[in-house]
Amino acid sequence: MLRFMPVGDSMTIGSAGEHTWRYRLWQHLCAAYGGPFTLVGPREALHDRITGEPTSHAYADPGFPRSHLAGWGEGWYHMAPLVRETVRSCRADVLLVSLGLIDLGFYTNAEQTAENVHAFVAEARAANPRVAVAVLPVLPNIRVDADPEFASQVTRFNGLLAEALHTLDEPRSPLLLVLPPPSYDFHADTYDGTHPNERGEHKIAEAFAQAMWEDWELGAPYALHRDAGR
């Protein structure tokens, strides 16, 4: 059984009442992947925006495998020290990573964040030398309109991320740079300038699905977005 582990920040964990891009991708893979698979990780909760804490609030689909390694306000800085043990204990085969916005906004600059990408990959491989990692660059949020320095850091980091994945890529443990959805617009695809709404969830899921199909021949072209009112 192929074991996918979503790794991310608030855009990945999602809030109570949301489907999340994790769910949209799972829906797609249920239809497109020919073999057994599941989602794994040490956490299952959504985020409660009222209390600011994880919540056991039921997901929209009880059949959805809820496991992940994602947290509200967490980034590469937080996940690099956790990923070795998590990959080992959850026996993850493929990591689906969406991180960086929190790092650049609060913790580290572009160069320091890129160093944490290197550390994350090394730690993941220490647990599973054949782990595959697909990484979505930072999707700009509403802050880029008001903060030119932050916008510059996002652009700088995304370039360093591409360089790191190219440099660290190896046949037995492939690293994949997921192309951001060309039509993704934080004005239309989020509910608050950062966190994806239904349209945004589908577009992020589509980005991962298309990259894995085109580069790894895993799954099939994404089609489930057609019910999202694009």
Q: What is the pLDDT along the chain (230 residues), one digit of tens a residue?
A: 999 999 999 999 988 667 899 999 999 999 999 899 999 999 998 877 767 767 766 666 778 899 999 999 999 999 999 999 999 999 999 999 999 999 999 999 999 999 999 999 999 999 999 999 999 999 999 999 999 999 999 999 999 999 999 999 999 999 999 999 889 999 999 999 999 999 999 999 999 999 999 999 999 999 854 444 33
Q: Please report whether residue 58 resides in a domain.
A: no
The type of residue at 190 is T
Show the domain range for 99: 2-9+20-43+73-227
Chain centre distance of CA 202: 13
Q: Please name the residues in contact with 145: beta carbons below 8 A apart, sequence gap of 6 or more.
A: none
Q: How many folded domains does the chain comprise?
A: 1
The alpha carbon torsion through 65, 68, 73, 76 (nearest 10 deg) reads: -150
Helix (H, G, I), strand (E, B) or coil at 124: helix
Chain centre distance of CA 80: 14
Pairing of strands 2-8, 132-136: unpaired
Q: Are 153 and 118 in contact (CB under 8 A)?
A: no
Q: Please report whether residue 64 resides in a domain.
A: no
d(Cα 114, Cα 117) in Å, to the nearest integer?
5
Q: Please report whether residue 51 resides in a domain.
A: no
Q: Can you give the length of the chain in residues?
A: 230
Q: Please report whether residue 91 resides in a domain.
A: yes
Greatest CA separation for the chain: 46
Which tokens is 81 given? 């020290």
d(Cα 212, Cα 208) in Å, to the nearest integer?
6
Residue 79 belongs to domain with CATH number: 3.40.50.1110
Q: Please report whether residue 205 resides in a domain.
A: yes
Q: How many helices (H) and strands (E) does the chain have?
A: 9, 8
The type of residue at 205 is A
Q: Please report whether residue 67 resides in a domain.
A: no
